[in-house]
Every structure is written in C-alpha cells, then in structure tokens.
Amino acid sequence: MNEWNLSKLYQSFTDPIFLHDLNRLDEIIKNINETADQAFLDYFQKSEKLEKYLHTETDLTILATKLFTFCQLNQATNSTNAIANKYANTLNIKITELTKTNTIFQKWVAKYPELDVDITISPFLKEHEFYLREIVQNAKYMLDEKTELLVSKLKQTGSSSWHRLQALLTSTLIVDYEGEKITLSQVRNMAYDSDAQVRKQAYHAELGSYKQIEKAVCFALNGIKGEVNTLSELRGYTSPLDEALIKSRMQRETLDTMIDVCKSYLPVFRAYMKRKGELLGHKNGLPFYDLFAPMGNNARTFTILEAKEYILKNFRTFNERLYLMAKKAFEEEWIDFYPHDGKVGGAFCDNIYPLKESRVLTNFTGMFGDVITISHELGHAYHGECIFENSILNADYTMPVAETASTFCETIVNKAALNDAQTKDEKISLLESSIQDYTQVIVDILSRFIFEKTVFEGRKTTIYDEDELKAIMKDAQKQTYGDGLDPDFLHPYMWLCKSHYYSGGLSFYNFPYAFGLLFAKGLYAQYLKDPQAFVTKYDQVLKATGCSTVEDTAKMAGIDVTNKAFWIGSLELIKQDIDLFIELTK
C-alpha cells in the first residue's frame, strides 16, 4: 500500500504484454519509416497524408509513453535496476530511428501550401491546429535529416548518459551521519528536524559526502552544458535560454518582467530570513542549515492515513473532481511514499496519458511539509485530469504552466491549515513553513537561474572543475540571498544535488517554478473573489496549457503576464505573509 502499483502498465519486464508492445513499437516505427520517404516528396493528396501521419503519430506516442513510463518509474524507485536501465536505453535507441522521418515530416509541414485552408476544412486538423503551427514555427531550428539522426544517437551516449550518471550517483550515495550510514535523501530531510544540532550535523555530513562524487558529477554537468551550447548555436538559437523560452512557449518579455519584479522584492525575503536567524540565535544572517528549521510549535506529525484524510478534506472545499481524483490516487496505489536506498530524492508526478492516471513519488517522513508535498504533486495529477481530455498530441504542456495546478493545490491545503491553527505558535509554524517554500521558489530559484546562465556562458570558452562550480554557486547565492544568509554557511553543492541541471533537452528548469508560484497566487486571488465561477474557468485554463502559449493561457484567466502589475500583486500576497510572520514573532 505504500508503494505505487504499475500493473496497469505492465506486470513486469517479462510480462508477455510488455514484450508484445516492444515488438509492436518496432512494427510501427518500421511502417512509418517505410511509407514516409515517398509520402512527403510532394503535396499530392496532402490533407489525407497529413491526417494519416498524425493518426499514426498518436498511436505511436501512446504506445511509447506506456513503455517509457514503465521503465522510468522502475528506475525512479531503484536506480540500480539493471533490467529497467537496459530497456530504457533500448527504447531510446528505437525512438532515434524515427528522427530522420520526423525531420522530413516537419519540414514538409513547414512548407505545406494553404495549410490554413485545410485546417478550416478538416475538424481533425483543426483540433491539432496549434500542434501544426508550432511545427511550422520551429522548423527553422531543425538541422538536415542525417544530422538530426546523428544528434539523436549521440545524445544517448552524451547528455542522456551524463543525466543517468548524476541520478545513479546521488541516489546511491551513502552519507556518514554520526557513525550511521544513511542515504542522501535521508540526510537532506534532516534539514527540517526540530533539533538544531541535528540540522547542523546533517548539513556538514551532507556537504562532506559530496566529496565522493563531486568530480564525476562535475564532468556530467560540463558534458551536458557543452552539448547544449553546441547544438543550440548550430540550430540557430540566440542562446540556450532563448531555446528554453521557445520550448516553454514563453516570451522573453514575460520572463524579464517577472525576474525584474522578483529582484525588487528580494529585500522583503531577506528581512524574513534575518528575523528567522535572530529567533534562532544567529547574528550574521541565517546559516543554510537553518533555512528549513521549523518555527513555532507545531510538533504534529502525520501517518499516511492522516495525510490522506487531511488532503481530501481540504481538496473537497475546491471541487468534487479534485477530491475524487485524490481519493483514487490514495486508494488505487498511485503514490510511492517512503525513502530508501536507490530511490531518487525529492518528489514528482508523472501524468500517464494511456492510463488517464498519474503516479506520484515522494520521500515521506510524516512532517507537515510532506503533506504539502503530496498536495503539490496531486495538483500535477489534477492538471493531468484536465489535459487527458485532449488528444495526446495536445497534451504536452510546458514547464512554466506545469507548476500552476501543483502550487494552487498546496495553497488550498496551506490556507486551510492556517485557518485550523488553534494557537499563535501553531499559526507561526504553518505561516513560516509556507514562507520557507516561497523563499526557495523565488530566492533560491533565482540563484539557480543565475548559476545556470553563468555556467552556459562560461562553457563556451572553458571547462569547469568542481571548485569553480562551487564558487559560482556561492556567488549566485550571495547575489540573491544577500545578507539574509550567513556567508560562512552557504550551500556550494546545490548544483550537484539538483537533477534539474542535468537534462540535455530541458535547460533552465528553474524559472518555471517562480512562474508557477506567482501565476497560481494570481489565480487563487481570483478564486477567492468568485469561487463558483472560477472553478469551471480554471479547468479550461489547465486543459488549454497543452495547446497554447503561456501568454494566451494567462489571457484565458484575464491575466497579462507581461505587465509588472500582475507580478507585483502576487508578490504582495507573499509580502503580507512575511509581514505577518515578523509581527507575530515580535
């Protein structure tokens, strides 16, 4: 009951259905490749060709999603699972066989005559209008078929391998904590312990453990960022950040506006950290090991059953659909709860389109923060519920909007907990717990953005050693945390323990968190004004994220994300919480 159930995908890697689907994937790939060469030489019966290919692509995507998801979820709970690793590699190689055909198809679509006319005539093409127009828009960044095929194959021994190495080393790292051998996830969870000595010892044990793997992970980061720089320039992007924004369907104006406003509010967050530091007896700002120290008096811990009941009770105040989905997640074993050796750290949610269900991974210890984490990940699952109404080709939402529903759901639970608080100490505890999270999503995320931007720039001309990466990270933390953090106790290894840096296809997986938090705050403010009218609109906004830009999605909710006023309004809501915390702790 405490582990997720993957049997709706496959029973095992020896399941005849799994092996059958592997063979079927080969057949579909072979069929696509054999027919594409002739089909896309001209535009005779072009509409029929286009519809046929999209139908085939739909079938392929559903099948490949099942196979990949089964491998990846097995890897997540056991990074040393040799069979899962083998099949994941096999699948990646199989999919690269489609690279040439996909390139030919996309270039064919980019030059498609009178596409507007055919979209108007065909309901099926109309349904996939955004998908097609995005192909046309992004075709200019594609290389020729042979080069694209070569790139996709080389990535398997390049960035993909470096990514797997970082995941393997961090998930299997053994930390010596006061003579006890524990996992990295376990020692990082100690940052939330109520005992100050435990937090400090865990911090030193964590930093000390990274010495075992820092050189290898440093090589991984250099390899990935170097690969991205090379390919980004070759494709014609201005920079990896430009590429990330285009993939995020987000304008540079939106990002710049949000970051400018976030920077202007850094003094507010620093005031909170200095106040917390004073309360904990620190005179030189807050040491990193006390960033997550619990405040007030909220010693309550949760069993899984108690977490379930609390989440369901509060989700139901929003709407019945959210409640029923979360109930199903708990009762039908969608969630893998506890940390253990070989399991990846942190938490995530995987929307599994072929099942119209999701799976959630957490590292649950019973703290209230873990309840919030489950709420957050179930928000991703609710996003999936809305997206599953679309064609699978319209179900690929981008990172900035990906954090919207998750942040919204954790806000529901956080606000409820504050309302339920019986004492001043309990209220301080819950309020500060939320502010901790906001600080990470605004201040720490900004430091990660600065770090990644600096590394990308530097990798154009040099390769970094581990000491240089640590120095860059510390400098980025000083820029954002400022005098809120004690400069003698920073976290120079934040580049090593965060998987977000280790993707060759997804750079700058940091600013989307800030966008998600602040966008969700703006949506929550609308919800409070008119709950009944908002719920229907909210589901439509989430559904649209798979087939619209960030800016157009926001417009559906009556929000202009290029306007500073929106971001100021969201950050003012956070400032109110910080002001209240400072007032309550006087």
Selection from 201, 196, 166, 167 nearest residue 182 by Cα? 201
Among the residue ranges 296-305, 342-351, 408-417, 530-539, the one predicted with the least confidence is 296-305
Domain map (residue ranges) of the chain: 16-157, 304-425+519-552
Residue 163 has pLDDT above 90, yes or no: yes
Residue 487 has pLDDT above 90, yes or no: yes
Instruction: Report the pLDDT value the prediction gives residue 423, as an integer from 0 to 100.
Output: 86
Question: 21-60: per-residue pLDDT in tens?
Answer: 999 999 999 999 988 878 899 999 999 999 999 999 999 9
Question: 262-284: per-residue pLDDT in tens?
Answer: 999 999 999 999 999 999 999 99
Buried (b) or exposed (e) across 279-312, using 16+ Cβ within 10 A? beebeebbbbbbbbbbbbebeeebebeebbebbb
Distance CA 36, CA 101 (A): 6
Tell me how crowded residue 339 is: count the other CB atoms within 10 A of its CB. 19
Residues of the chain with pLDDT > 90, as a percent, come to: 85
Give the pLDDT band of residue 504 (cuts 50, 70, 90). very high
Question: 113-144: per-residue pLDDT in tens?
Answer: 999 999 999 999 999 999 999 999 999 999 99
Residue 536 has pLDDT above 90, yes or no: no
Residue 297 has pLDDT above 80, yes or no: no
State mean pLDDT over 2-20.
97
Instruction: Report the pLDDT value the prediction gives residue 298, as an integer from 0 to 100.
Output: 67
Question: 171-194: per-residue pLDDT in tens?
Answer: 899 999 999 999 998 999 899 998
Residues of the chain with pLDDT > 70, as a percent, come to: 100
Instruction: Report the pLDDT value the prediction gives residue 300, as an integer from 0 to 100.
Output: 77
First-to-last CA distance in the chain? 45
Instruction: Report the pLDDT value the prediction gives residue 22, as an integer from 0 to 100.
Output: 97
Strand extents, DSSP E, 144-228:
174-177, 180-183
State mean pLDDT over 203-216.
97
Residue 1 has pLDDT above 90, yes or no: no
Hunting for tokens 């299997």 — which residue is that?
172
Q: Mean pLDDT, the chain, as a whole number?
A: 94
Instruction: Report the pLDDT value the prediction gives residue 480, as an integer from 0 to 100.
Output: 98
Instruction: Report the pLDDT value the prediction gives residue 206, as an integer from 0 to 100.
Output: 97
Read off the tokens for 489: 């106790």
State mean pLDDT over 6-21.
97
Question: 332-390: per-residue pLDDT in tens?
Answer: 999 999 998 888 888 999 999 999 999 999 999 998 889 999 999 999 999 999 999 99
Instruction: Report the pLDDT value the prediction gives residue 299, as an integer from 0 to 100.
Output: 67
Q: Judging by beta carbons within 10 Å of its beta carbon (0-12, 13-18, 19+), is residue 269 exposed, middle or buried?
A: buried
Instruction: Report the pLDDT value the prediction gives residue 364, as an integer from 0 to 100.
Output: 94
Instruction: Report the pLDDT value the prediction gives residue 436, as an integer from 0 to 100.
Output: 93
Instruction: Report the pLDDT value the prediction gives residue 291, as an integer from 0 to 100.
Output: 96
Among the residue ranges 146-150, 297-301, 450-454, 532-536, the one predicted with the least confidence is 297-301
Selection from 463, 465, 485 nearest residue 474 by Cα? 485
Residue 351's DSSP bridge partners are 358
Q: Phi-psi region for residue 296, left (φ > 0), alpha (ψ -120 to 50) or beta?
A: left
Q: Which fold has domain 16-157?
A: Butyryl-CoA Dehydrogenase, subunit A; domain 3 (1.20.140)
Read off the tokens for 546: 């798979």
Tell me how crowded residue 437 is: count the other CB atoms within 10 A of its CB. 19
Q: Which residues contact 513 (CB under 8 A, 6 or more apart)?
A: 403, 441, 445
